[in-house]
Amino acid sequence: MQANAEQHHDRLTCEVESTLKVIGGRWKVLIIRELMTDIKRFGELQRALSGITQKMLTQQLRELEDDGIIHREVYPQIPPKVEYSLTPLGETLKPLLYAMHEWGVQYSKISNQSD
């Protein structure tokens, strides 16, 4: 029985790590949060994410696109217009992020009580 529980724990840990690999880091969750409400252009994202560099935003957007979380739509016009949105897979992260938010609220209440 113990071996079965350990195998389940290993699989769970592996999947949690996979999730964190996709959304982990300082900026990815914030980018996803911005796209949860509406389609955004690069400049809108950069303004909304105070402190992110153009290089870092570009890198994070590419990684999220490669992972299938966001969609990048390029409109053939001059100057080029590029919009970012969540893919259907990205949309499935919403409940996870809401749950993480709620956990953070509860954690803040508990940790502030112990100060």
pLDDT in tens, 35-72: 999 999 999 999 999 999 999 999 999 999 999 999 99
Class of domain 25-113: mainly alpha
pTM of this structure: 0.82
Residue 10 in this model has a pLDDT that exceeds 80: no
Long-range CB pairs of 49-52, under 8 A, 24+ apart, other chains included = 52/27
Query: Who's near 87: CB < 8 A, 6+ residues apart?
Result: 68, 69, 70, 71
Whole-number pLDDT of residue 1: 46
How far, in Å, CA of 49 to CA of 54, rounded? 11
- Tell me the average pLDDT of the chain: 89
